[in-house]
């Protein structure tokens, strides 16, 4: 298993233990089996993007926090070159997630680049929560369709969509070309607004 998956495994375990959750407690919270979480934490399997999102929700952190290496002994550096940026590949769809932001800096947001393969789809069943993630998606190349709850958006090159992730979201690339987009994601969960009566 490669370095990024080992770091993800350690980070999930670190976040779980910091919250005082047992494997059973986290399994109940995120609806991922105890055995799957155990395998992930031991680095014996590579979780899919959907499973990582469920774990992040169960741990009450933005997905970006799963990719942060808090235990790194290196001091924060304001510059990270492209060849040093961590990449992770979703084993189910093959989409590539590259963390663009320098590691170990305590910033209120993180920049992530996604290369989304043609004819691919990822569905995140985000559950209702009192805390939500905010992000903006900017299409650099190709096109991507987003379904956020009941709302659908077709984005092409240069388009930007601001999203509050408090409901299910589906990312689809229905074209025959790779879609590349940039996410600017809040590292802090914010309170979900109360629905007006």
Give me the pLDDT at residue 73, please: 55
Burial 177-189 (b: 16+ CB within 10 A, else e): ebbbbbbbbbbeb
CA-CA distance, 35 to 192, in Å (whole number)? 32
Contacts of 60 (CB under 8 A, 6+ apart): 19, 129, 131, 189
Name all contacts of 94-101 with Cβ < 8 Å and 24+ positions apart. Answer: 94/120, 95/49, 95/120, 95/122, 97/49, 97/67, 99/64, 99/67, 100/182
For the stretch 47-90, pLDDT in tens is: 999 999 999 989 988 888 888 765 555 677 889 999 999 899 99
When mean pLDDT is compared over 4-18, 139-153, 175-189, the highest value belongs to 139-153
**Within 13 A of 128's CA, how many CA atoms are on the CB side?**
3
- Residue 127 is classified by DSSP as P
Q: What domains can you pick out in the chain, each with its CATH number?
A: 3-67 (1.10.260.40), 82-191 (2.60.120.10)
Confidence of residue 128 (pLDDT cuts 50, 70, 90): low
What is the dihedral angle through the alpha carbons of 3, 9, 10, 15, rounded to the nearest 10 degrees? Answer: 140
Give me the pLDDT at residue 65, please: 84
CA-CA distance, 154 to 95, in Å (whole number)? 19
Quote the tokens at residue 94: 């093959």
Give me the pLDDT at residue 22, please: 95
Backbone angles phi, psi at 142, to 5 degrees: 80, -155
* pTM attached to this predicted model: 0.82
Give me the pLDDT at residue 42, please: 94
């Amino acid at each position: 298993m490669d370095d990024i998956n080992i770091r993800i495994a350690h980070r999930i375990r670190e976040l779980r233990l910091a919250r005082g959750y047992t494997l059973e407690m986290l399994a109940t919270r995120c609806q991922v089996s105890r055995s799957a979480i155990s395998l992930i934490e031991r680095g014996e399997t590579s979780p899919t993007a959907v499973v990582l999102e469920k774990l992040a929700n169960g741990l009450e952190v933005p997905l970006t926090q799963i990719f942060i290496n808090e235990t790194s002994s290196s001091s924060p550096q304001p510059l990270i070159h492209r060849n040093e940026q961590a990449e992770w590949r979703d084993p189910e769809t093959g989409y590539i997630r590259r963390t663009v932001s320098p590691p170990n800096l305590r910033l209120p947001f993180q920049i992530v680049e996604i290369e989304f393969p043609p004819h691919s789809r990822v569905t995140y069943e985000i559950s209702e929560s009192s805390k939500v993630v905010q992000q903006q998606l900017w299409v650099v190349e190709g096109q991507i369709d987003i379904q956020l709850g009941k709302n659908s958006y077709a984005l092409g090159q240069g388009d930007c969509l601001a999203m509050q992730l408090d409901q299910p979201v589906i990312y689809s690339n229905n074209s025959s070309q790779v879609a590349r987009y940039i996410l600017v994601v809040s590292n802090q969960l914010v309170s979900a607004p109360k629905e007006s009566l």
